[in-house]
Structure 1
Amino acid sequence: MTDSTGTRLPSLTGLRFVAAGMVFGFHASIEGVFADPGTSAAVGQAFSRAGFFGVEFFFVLSGFILTWTARRDDTRRGFWGRRARKIYPNHVVTWAVAILLALWAGQAVGWQVLPNLLLVHAWAPVPEVLNSANIVAWSLACEVLFYALFPVLHAGIRRIRVDRLWWWAGGVVALVFTMPLIAQSLPADPQVPTPGGPMSFYAIWFVYLFPPTRVLEFVLGMFVARIVRDGRWTPPSLGVAGLVAGLAYLAAFTVPYLYCKVAIALVPLALVIASAAAADARGAFSPFRSRGMVWLGEISFAFYLLHWLVLVHGHRLLGTTWGLLGGAAVLALALAVTVLLSWALHVTVERPLTRPKQHTDLPAR
């Protein structure tokens, strides 16, 4: 990953796999591979916020990287073409695999899978549509909106005076924190179980799944990129940023549920992204810059799209539960299989379609 001035940002590539791994941990923790209820509950509790943090990292990173690497001579058609080649081929392949696996498992496949294919399903608060085919693709519906809006958003943000960037960024953060309040005005029924008790499905959808709501995180990433690149802020070390993010994760267990899904992680994750970019720019130490981490980051988009299918259908194929060591071994196997399949998808589908006109603006998960 390189910016328009030639500065490489490999740490951000490596961090992408960390974020994808958090989503994997979340889904693995709810798959129910442990026979002991206490172990299952403890693992589920520990990873219950990990998926939220992982997805939000990607949304903020998208805005940051696209702004950091934006070129003035780029065209909207060229930009949208690169984004489409990055997202849709992998999505179509994993969508088709999800359909085949569902049929193999004896599940009904109806019209609900079509909005998933078109990446418009997150706009509808309809559970059977949101949960169709490859359910993790809901975040791509958000990314599609981000990319559609980026040329206009970037043109506007680029015109903002540098001395006002912090005020705009603060306003975006404030808006994110108001979303749970707005969500409480939505219909209370139907309700779904959450760690904090039953909650309106519509409220959760509005805060976590609705693409226009998630645009705010993307926009904050854009502002942070400008603030750092224009010299308005020197981020702290990656160690300090990581500590803040870790404390935010602990805090996510203490705040109301709607706030733990998005708001509580927003600023800490933006801090991690800014600190990683600054570390690469000045050559400071970063554990995410190694060849192995960068390679894992490069396949992380494919990993994200495949991991849920491997976990769910792999568990269905094996068809049992295990003790602590057995369950951990099964999850480690699922992780290894997902990495191998992700590498294959990246090499055979993603890389050939993006390399001919590759611009290192954003590997999009």
Structure 2
Amino acid sequence: MRFLAALLVFVFHVATVFAYPDAETAAGVQSVTGRLAFLGVSFFFVLSGFVLTWSARPGDGAGSFLRRRLCKIYPNHLVTFAVALILLLVLAKPVTGVLPNLLLFHAWIPDQSIFNSVNVVSWSLSCELVFYLFFPLLYRWITRIGEKHLWWWASGVVVAVLCVPFVAEIAIPATDGDPLQAGSSTSQVWFVFIFPPVALLQFVLGILMARIVLAGRWFGLPLPVAALALVGGYALALLVPYNFGINATTIVPIALVIAAGAVADVRGRRTLLRGRTMLWLGEVSFAFYLVHYVVLLDGRELLGLPRLSVGGEVALSIAGFAVSLALAFLLYLGVERPVMRRWSRARRPRHRRAPGRTGFPPGHEPAGSAPRPRGAG
């Protein structure tokens, strides 16, 4: 699932760097693909909450958890940050927000030159870092919710997500909008989707959906039906006002797809997500997400490639995908996996802490014993 989400972001960025034969064609294609990045990143956020809850370890301390998550995201971020920064300097392009980006604080700043600085896609890591910092506390709270109340809490989070665009419309002027944002503004988009406390709502929904499945409260919606609902939600996103199409129309289908996919996997049902290729793609998906935009945009400019025919642009996009995937594999093989193996766990075994003194509630057996969904990536 994680690679499919990264692929949606890739397609969105291909549409933005593609050299179209005319402005009308460009506008048409970009109007259709213009919400894909939001869909992909929203999927990431909900899936993160789901997978972390699904694989939570009884008695695991908050410090151990944070250590593993930082080893997972920060080395890859540091490498891609350095490469992107060097390319910006080589291409004599503006360099802004270096320190906030390096420290993964840039998503908090409502300035596009900051939150889209250096490696543009890294803003989502700034949100993920917030998720990880709050997960031990959120996990403790949410595991105390009675099983019969879980759907009510999930519904409440969805309502909160749906209310955010209304707040943006009322409180933030729509005066500095990108033409592709059709009546919205960069400030509104930042608040609706990038601002970490708001993004946290999607992560919390993922936690709740995992608890719903683990508690046996899932109502049995098949994965294909959930996927069709997601397609419908995206189609609706293209019709509603821009701020409401960012994730309001897709948040429920995303949650349903993730839960249905996990149930199908645990029950051993055949899906497209269970093959070896998809599992491998899931492993390299994080690295692919981090490298692809640098390859597509800076790579083209570095090579000085001119405008090509439509066929040539398609071929170039396919080549960009192949190069991004190859670099992602090298990043995974040379950085992510070695760091996780070497530093994600303490070298010396530690004595088990007394119950009640860790960052997680002790003995939450369902979450600790459940197998991780194979297709989650």
Q: Please tell me whether the aligned partners of residues 184 and 243 of structure 2 are also in contact (alpha carbons under 8 angstroms).
A: no
Structure 2 equivalent of residue 234 of structure 1? 219
The DSSP-based 3-state class of the residue aligned with 1:191 is coil
Structure 2 equivalent of residue 40 of structure 1? 26
Cα distance, 1:34–1:196 mapped onto 2, change above 3 Å: closer
Q: Please tell me whether the aligned partners of residues 66 and 361 of structure 1 are also in contact (alpha carbons under 8 angstroms).
A: no
Structure 2 equivalent of residue 201 of structure 1? 186
Displacement after TM superposition at 1:211 (Å)? 0.3
Structure 2 equivalent of residue 75 of structure 1? 61
Residue type of the alignment partner of 1:352? P
1:42-89 C-alpha deviation (Å, 9 max, x unpaired)? 332231111111000000000001111111210001000000000100
Q: Please tell me whether the aligned partners of residues 191 and 198 of structure 1 are also in contact (alpha carbons under 8 angstroms).
A: no
Structure 2 equivalent of residue 305 of structure 1? 290
Distance in 1 between residues matched to 2:158 and 2:129, nearest whole Å: 22
User: Matches of residues 43-54 of structure 1 in structure 2 within 5 Å?
Assistant: 43-54=29-40
TM-score relative to the length of structure 2:
0.89
Moved more, 351-360 or 131-140: 351-360
Of 292, 295, 317, 2:277 maps to 292
Structure 2 equivalent of residue 116 of structure 1? 101
Structure 1 equivalent of residue 120 of structure 2? 135
Of 157, 179, 201, 1:216 maps to 201
The DSSP-based 3-state class of the residue aligned with 1:262 is coil
How well do the aligned residues superpose, as a CA RMSD in angstroms? 2.0
Displacement after TM superposition at 1:109 (Å)? 2.8
Structure 2 equivalent of residue 59 of structure 1? 45
Q: Please tell me whether the aligned partners of residues 84 and 118 of structure 2 are also in contact (alpha carbons under 8 angstroms).
A: yes
Structure 2 equivalent of residue 19 of structure 1? 5
Cα distance, 1:189–1:261 mapped onto 2, change above 3 Å: closer
1:101-150 C-alpha deviation (Å, 9 max, x unpaired)? 0011012435x211001000110112221221001100011000000000
Cα distance, 1:106–1:135 mapped onto 2, change above 3 Å: same
Distance in 1 between residues matched to 2:337 and 2:121, nearest whole Å: 21
Unaligned stretches of 5+ in structure 1? Answer: 1-14
Distance in 2 between residues matched to 1:81 and 1:196, nearest whole Å: 38
Distance in 1 between residues matched to 2:213 and 2:179, nearest whole Å: 37
1:218-251 C-alpha deviation (Å, 9 max, x unpaired)? 0001011001110011332221111111111111
Structure 1 equivalent of residue 317 of structure 2? 331
Distance in 1 between residues matched to 2:260 and 2:223, nearest whole Å: 5
Displacement after TM superposition at 1:323 (Å)? 1.8
Structure 2 equivalent of residue 341 of structure 1? 327
Moved more, 65-74 or 234-243: 234-243
Cα distance, 1:189–1:283 mapped onto 2, change above 3 Å: closer
Structure 2 equivalent of residue 279 of structure 1? 264
Moved more, 25-34 or 149-158: 25-34
Of 90, 100, 112, 1:104 maps to 90
Of 236, 240, 244, 1:259 maps to 244
Q: Please tell me whether the aligned partners of residues 301 and 364 of structure 1 are also in contact (alpha carbons under 8 angstroms).
A: no
Residue type of the alignment partner of 2:108? W
Displacement after TM superposition at 1:283 (Å)? 0.7
Displacement after TM superposition at 1:202 (Å)? 2.1
Structure 2 equivalent of residue 90 of structure 1? 76
Moved more, 310-319 or 209-218: 310-319
Distance in 2 between residues matched to 1:187 and 1:62, nearest whole Å: 29
Distance in 2 between residues matched to 1:190 and 1:113, nearest whole Å: 27
The DSSP-based 3-state class of the residue aligned with 1:263 is coil
1:179-219 C-alpha deviation (Å, 9 max, x unpaired)? 01111233416511244633333221110110000100000
Cα distance, 1:39–1:312 mapped onto 2, change above 3 Å: same
Distance in 2 between residues matched to 1:212 and 1:132, nearest whole Å: 20
Unaligned stretches of 5+ in structure 2? Answer: 346-367
Residue type of the alignment partner of 2:199? R
Q: Please tell me whether the aligned partners of residues 241 and 272 of structure 1 are also in contact (alpha carbons under 8 angstroms).
A: yes
Moved more, 250-259 or 35-44: 35-44
Q: Does 1:29 align with 2:15?
A: yes
Q: Please tell me whether the aligned partners of residues 24 and 308 of structure 1 are also in contact (alpha carbons under 8 angstroms).
A: yes
Distance in 2 between residues matched to 1:200 and 1:215, nearest whole Å: 21
TM-score relative to the length of structure 1:
0.91
Q: Please tell me whether the aligned partners of residues 241 and 271 of structure 1 are also in contact (alpha carbons under 8 angstroms).
A: yes
Distance in 1 between residues matched to 2:255 and 2:338, nearest whole Å: 31
The DSSP-based 3-state class of the residue aligned with 2:281 is helix
Q: Please tell me whether the aligned partners of residues 174 and 188 of structure 2 are also in contact (alpha carbons under 8 angstroms).
A: no
Displacement after TM superposition at 1:170 (Å)? 0.6
Cα distance, 1:191–1:153 mapped onto 2, change above 3 Å: same
Number of residues of Structure 1 aligned to a counterpart in Structure 2: 350
Cα distance, 1:194–1:72 mapped onto 2, change above 3 Å: farther
